[in-house]
Amino acid sequence: MAEYSYTVIYEKLPDGGYRVIIPAMPEICTFGETLEEAREMAQDAIRCVLESARKAGEPIPSEVEPAATERLAVSIP
């Protein structure tokens, strides 16, 4: 059994819940009402991508580390 590890970003949504972003797999779009549910949904989505790649004989996605994160302020008149 192989194990893979990916950076996962949880974005808290204004109306509640979390959106999940996985830089190495931009095709994944998943959500959860709680952080725990979002984590489980992310694991399931990653597993699906990996299983699909393996079945199709495609390469397993490589980890993509975010180059940087920052809080950027923008002023408007």
Our measurement of the distance from residue 33's CA atom to the centroid of its chain's CA atoms, rounded to an integer in Å, reads: 15
DSSP H/E element including 46: helix 35-56
Whether residue 76 is predicted with pLDDT greater than 80 in this model: the reply is yes
SS3 content of the chain, % helix, strand, coil (to 5): 30, 15, 55
Instruction: Say if 65 falls within a structural domain.
Output: no
Instruction: Say if 70 falls within a structural domain.
Output: no
Q: What is the pLDDT of residues 8-55, one digit of tens each?
A: 999 999 999 999 999 999 999 999 999 999 999 999 999 999 999 999
70: confidence class by pLDDT, cuts 50, 70, 90: confident
Backbone phi and psi for residue 8, each to the nearest 5 degrees, phi listed first: -125, 135
The residue written with tokens 């302020």 in the block is 73
The beta strand positions in 1-77, using DSSP E, are 9-12, 18-21, 30-32
* Total domains, the chain: 1
Parent domain of 25: 10-56
Q: Taking the model in full, what pTM does it have?
A: 0.83
